[in-house]
Structure 1
Amino acid sequence: METLAERLASSERIVFLTGAGVSVPSGIPDYRSKNGLYTGRENPEYLLSATCLQNEPDKFYAFVRDNMYYPDAEPNAIHEKMAEIERRAGKKVTVVTQNIDALHAKAGSRNVVEFHGSLYRCHCQKCGMMVHSEQYLESDKHENCGGIIRPEVVLYEENLPEVAINGALAAITEADLIVIVGTSFKVSPFCNLTDYRKSGSTVFAVNQELLRLPFQYTMIQDDAVSIFKEL
């Protein structure tokens, strides 16, 4: 941890790669753990697929509305510390996150690449109008035109938006320090981002589960909240 603190202090360009484990301490479940979103559900990937949205929009909406939204969730020490590091003079910090809960932005991080989109940006598929998430939680039918509203998240069977890929790669390729936090780092293409790191960059991983990465890195196998509180 002391070495990580030293590298955070000395590095000018930092990228945090964050996953569901960062938001679990804020009361948002992950997907595949013992108490995760997918536990006990039959074919949950279908419920979060483009096919389900298109063919059974009521089923899609009910699942997303009842299980995905945590509007009262607050950032925890991990989100807050990353935002604090970004505010330090001379630092260019980018958070590239798999999470769709907008907690990094809520904590004050300004350079956030939401790799899989955000539940808190919604639009009508018929007229294209942007819709507040509060309105979506009341109904998925757009009152203006009757179209189906959807959150701007990447569903199964959909491609990642180019803006997310380009933003992530731009940050990774110039980073002096990359810190992987709260993710098993197994889901492609997110786990492939480190392939584009520049020569000489340093990689740390902070995660309760041991990661096995095919390159040199420093593993801190511990509770990320405890670690970030001490940084």
Structure 2
Amino acid sequence: MTYEEKIRAVADLLRAHDRNFALTGAGISTESGIPDFRSPGTGLWTKYDPTKVATLSALRRDPASFYDFCIPRWTSYTGARPNDAHRALARLEELGYLVGVITQNIDGLHRQAGSKRVWEIHGHLRTCHCMSCGETYPFSTLVEQYEGGQNPPLCGRCRGVLRPDVVLFEDQMSEDFFKALKALSGCQVMLVVGTSLQVYPAAGLPELARRVVIINREPTPWDERAEVVIHESCGKVFRDLMAALGEPL
């Protein structure tokens, strides 16, 4: 199929079914200025070993070094804004073409774009909590302590180490992941957007859909099984898809 035929095919799939979901990864946010993890040469994990810098054991072993690595990256997200792909997914939900968005991203851009039903299966950067007593704080508390010279950031109640409410390597999956598994019952079409489908258990979610559409710059393990595969930027694909549906952004 040509690119134009693929866009029409995706539009037809969304029109023909009413239990459709999107599964998104870091690639949807690159056009908002947030680097992804695995793109050759530019991905974060091509430069650093995630098993050494982004694990629960790394946080416990040397929390100061963990925060020296993570805080500058997390705070760089705060100026990011939703791009056309985020806005299109929110609009597709509003129009009834999507039930909601399941995202591996912690940047909060789907919510900023207006998506109402969002399952953040790897957590988010809105809150943090104490690893000792469980006290919850706004994420800004963690950042303010770090930027004020307190590293690692500590709980105001028991002086335990604070940690963000994100899913680190070695962590258990978030509650949203299990909610997403239930929500996906009967999923007819899954738009897989901006993810290389390398990290499990998120990479196994397309198994729960009857039809899968891949929208990603790089090839994925699902390309041979998907109904439609488009290797192009997410923003372009969704601008063209919305036009094909008669709902230009």
TM-score by length of 1: 0.89
Structure 2: gaps (5+ residues): 1-6, 146-152, 243-249
- State the partner residue of 1:40: 47
Partner SS for 1:173:
coil
Task: Pick the aligned partner of 1:181 from 193, 208, 211.
Answer: 193
Quick check: 2:23–2:191 contact (8 Å CA) kept in 1? yes
* CA distance in structure 1 between the aligned counterparts of 2:226 and 2:155, rounded to whole angstroms: 50
- State the partner residue of 1:24: 30
* CA distance in structure 2 between the aligned counterparts of 1:195 and 1:137, rounded to whole angstroms: 38
- Tell me which amino acid in the other structure corresponds to 1:184: S
Q: How many residues align?
A: 225
1:172 aligns to 2:172 (yes or no): no
- Tell me which amino acid in the other structure corresponds to 1:196: L
Q: For the aligned residues, what is the CA RMSD? A: 1.8
- Tell me which amino acid in the other structure corresponds to 1:145: C
How far the C-alpha of 1:92 sits from its partner, in A, is 5.0
- State the partner residue of 2:168: 155
Give matches, 1:93-104, under 5 Å: 93-104=99-110
- Superposed CA deviations along residues 52-90 of structure 1, whole A, max 9, x for unmatched, are 1112111111111012331111111111110111111x4
* CA distance in structure 2 between the aligned counterparts of 1:23 and 1:207, rounded to whole angstroms: 12
Quick check: 1:37–1:67 contact (8 Å CA) kept in 2? no
Q: Which moved more, 1:169-178 or 1:209-218?
A: 209-218
How far the C-alpha of 1:207 sits from its partner, in A, is 1.1
* CA distance in structure 1 between the aligned counterparts of 2:239 and 2:127, rounded to whole angstroms: 30
Quick check: 1:168–1:193 contact (8 Å CA) kept in 2? no
* CA distance in structure 1 between the aligned counterparts of 2:183 and 2:158, rounded to whole angstroms: 39
Change (3 A) 1:148 1:174: same
* CA distance in structure 2 between the aligned counterparts of 1:113 and 1:82, rounded to whole angstroms: 13
* CA distance in structure 1 between the aligned counterparts of 2:8 and 2:208, rounded to whole angstroms: 26
Higher helix share: 2
* CA distance in structure 2 between the aligned counterparts of 1:32 and 1:3, rounded to whole angstroms: 28
* CA distance in structure 2 between the aligned counterparts of 1:92 and 1:22, rounded to whole angstroms: 17
Structure 1: gaps (5+ residues): none
Change (3 A) 1:191 1:58: same
1:220 aligns to 2:233 (yes or no): no
Task: Pick the aligned partner of 1:79 from 86, 92, 113.
Answer: 86
Quick check: 1:94–1:171 contact (8 Å CA) kept in 2? no
Quick check: 2:85–2:234 contact (8 Å CA) kept in 1? yes
**Identity across matched positions, percent:** 35
